[in-house]
């Protein structure tokens, strides 16, 4: 089996699964409780992806001033609060992380 065929089949399967859920949500009435619960999914997923990167330093839990990822995250949070601009927040956070890691951490 070629790599392209595997990629094509994987893409079709992924598309089919996602499209089926979208199609089902359009055909059936979703209870209000479930709709309200689904609003919490994106923040929960984002937190699950970001928090381990911020609070783990070399595999250990670290909430100190010596954790460059945590400091860069705090700078990014302040930038997001002040600027309300996603691109500025990401750029500032990345630059802060680069600078903090290049210092003697």
Place of tokens 């990167």: 53
pTM score: 0.63
Query: Is 62 or 10 the better-scoring residue by pLDDT?
Result: 10
In the predicted model, is pLDDT for residue 105 greater than 70? no
Across the range 31-47, mean pLDDT stands at 91
pLDDT of the residue at 11:
95
Q: What is the 3-state secondary structure (H, E, C) of the chain?
A: CCHHHHHHHHHHHHHHHHHHHHHHHHHCCCCHHHHHHHCCHHHHHHHHHHHHHHHEECCEECCCCCCHHHHHHHHHHHHHHHHCCHHHHHHHHHHHHHHHHHCCC
Angle at the Cα of 66 from the Cα atoms of 60 and 68, rounded to 5 degrees: 85
92 pLDDT above the threshold of 70: yes
Instruction: Estimate to the nearest angstrom the gap between the alpha carbon of 25 and the chain centroid.
Output: 24
The rounded mean pLDDT for the chain is 90
Domain ranges of the chain: 1-35, 40-105
pLDDT band (50, 70, 90) for residue 29: confident
What is the pLDDT, as a whole number, of residue 73? 94
What average pLDDT score do residues 73-94 get? 96
19 CB contacts (<8 Å, ≥6 apart)? Answer: none
């Amino acid at each position: 089996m070629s790599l392209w065929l595997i990629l094509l089949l994987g893409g079709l399967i992924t598309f089919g699964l996602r499209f089926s859920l979208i199609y089902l949500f359009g055909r059936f009435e979703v209870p209000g409780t479930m709709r309200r619960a689904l609003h919490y999914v994106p923040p929960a997923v984002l937190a699950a992806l970001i928090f381990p990167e911020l609070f783990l330093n070399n595999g250990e839990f670290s909430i100190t001033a010596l954790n460059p990822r945590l400091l860069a995250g705090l700078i990014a949070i302040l930038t997001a609060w002040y600027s309300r601009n996603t691109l500025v927040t990401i750029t500032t956070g990345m630059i802060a992380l680069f600078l903090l890691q290049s210092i003697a951490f």
